[in-house]
Amino acid sequence: MPNKLPKFFDNHKICIICEGNEEYEYLNRLKNLKVWNEQYDISLVNAGGNGNIPARYQDRYQNGADELVLVFCDTEKKPHEQYEDIKRKINEFHGVDSAANEVIMFGNPCTMQIISKHWTDENLKSPAKPVNAPLIKEYTGVENYKGRADQIRKVMEHVTAENYKDMSRRVKKLETIDTITGGSNFGRFIELFEGGDVGWIYEINNRIEV
């Protein structure tokens, strides 16, 4: 008789600490669209605000259940005080001055900078929702966007596997320095999540562990 035992795939567990609802729902949408390499088992944690990110990150890292823990957040506007505080605490936790740069996926000034790239080349200049609401209405039909749960869900319906390719292409053209308005390093991680070589997980861990 043929072997009926199920195949077990050795998936690589990655946890992403999401700043809030927008970040969580967006990455969850991309997960559900299955646009990334299936060998990555990505779990999401909603930190419920940027002030909670360092503690959530430390808890998850020390838990040891994941091969890698990342952060997905925005920089807000200058002088980026809360964002810089997140970086400082992650660096101090690891005892490595550049640890945060290895594990944080950012959008400057906000995560909508990345999400909007599904529909437009336009760069956002402000994290303020009233400023960005007209653009969101133009491409999703959602009126007066304020980041409410029902509004986020409606926006996510307009994120598709087809326009994911457009977003990917556009985001990879952005500046990757976190102090530059209109920048994001998400494109770098998109390539890693799509690829088949898992060596990058070990490389990051080697750089953040003393």
Range of the domain at 140: 12-208
pLDDT of residue 1: 41
Q: Residue 122 pLDDT more than 50?
A: yes
* Burial class (CB within 10 angstroms; exposed 0-12, middle 13-18, buried 19+) of 133: middle
For residue 74, how many other CB atoms are within 10 A of its CB?
Answer: 25
pLDDT in tens, 33-87: 999 999 999 999 999 999 999 999 999 999 999 999 999 999 998 889 999 999 9
Would you put residue 182 in left (φ > 0), alpha (ψ -120 to 50) or beta? left
Give 8's pLDDT tier (boundaries 50, 70, 90): very low
Residues listed for the chain: 210
Question: Considering the domain boundaries, does residue 16 fall inside one?
Answer: yes
Question: Considering the domain boundaries, does residue 7 fall inside one?
Answer: no
pLDDT of residue 9: 53
Question: Considering the domain boundaries, does residue 6 fall inside one?
Answer: no
Give 210's pLDDT tier (boundaries 50, 70, 90): confident
Domain count along the chain = 1
Q: Residue 101 pLDDT more than 60?
A: yes
pTM of the predicted structure, to 2 decimals = 0.93
Q: Residue 180 pLDDT more than 80?
A: yes
Question: Considering the domain boundaries, does residue 93 fall inside one?
Answer: yes
Q: Residue 194 pLDDT more than 50?
A: yes
From the CA atom positions of the chain, what is the Rg in Å? 17
Could you give the percent of the chain with pLDDT greater than 70? Answer: 96
Question: Considering the domain boundaries, does residue 39 fall inside one?
Answer: yes
**Beta pairing class for 40-46 and 104-107:** unpaired
pLDDT of residue 5: 42
CA angle 136, 137, 143 (to 5 degrees): 115
pLDDT in tens, 131-168: 999 999 999 999 999 999 999 999 999 999 999 999 99
Distance separating alpha carbons of residues 43 and 36, to the nearest angstrom:
13
Question: Considering the domain boundaries, does residue 175 fall inside one?
Answer: yes
Q: Range with the lowest mean pLDDT among 6-15, 95-104, 171-180?
A: 6-15
